[in-house]
Amino acid sequence: MNPALLLPLALVAVAGAAVAMQPAFNGQLAQLLGSPVRAALVSFSAGVVVLFCLSAALAFKTGLPTGKELARVPLHLWFIGGTLGAFFVATSAWTAPRIGVGAFFATLIAAQLIAAIALDHFGMIGMEVRPATLMRVAGAGFLVLGALLVVRG
């Protein structure tokens, strides 16, 4: 394995473990606030505070984007990531208490991998084309089977 991949892969593993806890926390918050949407709002508000602090700290090193740079950003990119994130958080807050975190993530990850392979294969959303080889499709198939075992088990 390329040693340059070790740090990124380690960070992904840590982020994955952290994200595994998010639906449980947001599910509790949704029950206490009476709404998964309110729980998502609180979750995103906390995230905004953390990201604002990180952005402010990094601005000392990297500076801020210019007005010209900001104007080059297509309108949809200002909203789609946050919209999809809000959908994810609200969905997890509602579903995790009903089906369990394991079933939630088994289904989510299987669906993510299928969508990701399609995005790669067709080079969608600006991604470089990476063909859906038999090995990649088989891997996704095994993940779907694993998800079914987790959901039914």
97 in Cβ contact with 39 (< 8 Å): no
Per residue in 31-61, pLDDT (tens digit) is: 999 999 999 999 999 999 999 999 999 999 9
CA-CA distance, 16 to 50, in Å (whole number)? 18
CB under 8 Å to 129, separation ≥6 — which residues?
120, 121, 122, 123
Task: Give the pLDDT confidence score for residue 153 in this predicted structure.
Answer: 87
Amino acid at 134: L
Per residue in 89-124, pLDDT (tens digit) is: 999 999 999 999 999 999 999 999 999 999 999 999
* pTM for this prediction: 0.82
Task: Give the pLDDT confidence score for residue 1 in this predicted structure.
Answer: 76
Task: Give the pLDDT confidence score for residue 3 in this predicted structure.
Answer: 87
CA-CA distance, 40 to 88, in Å (whole number)? 9
35 in Cβ contact with 18 (< 8 Å): no
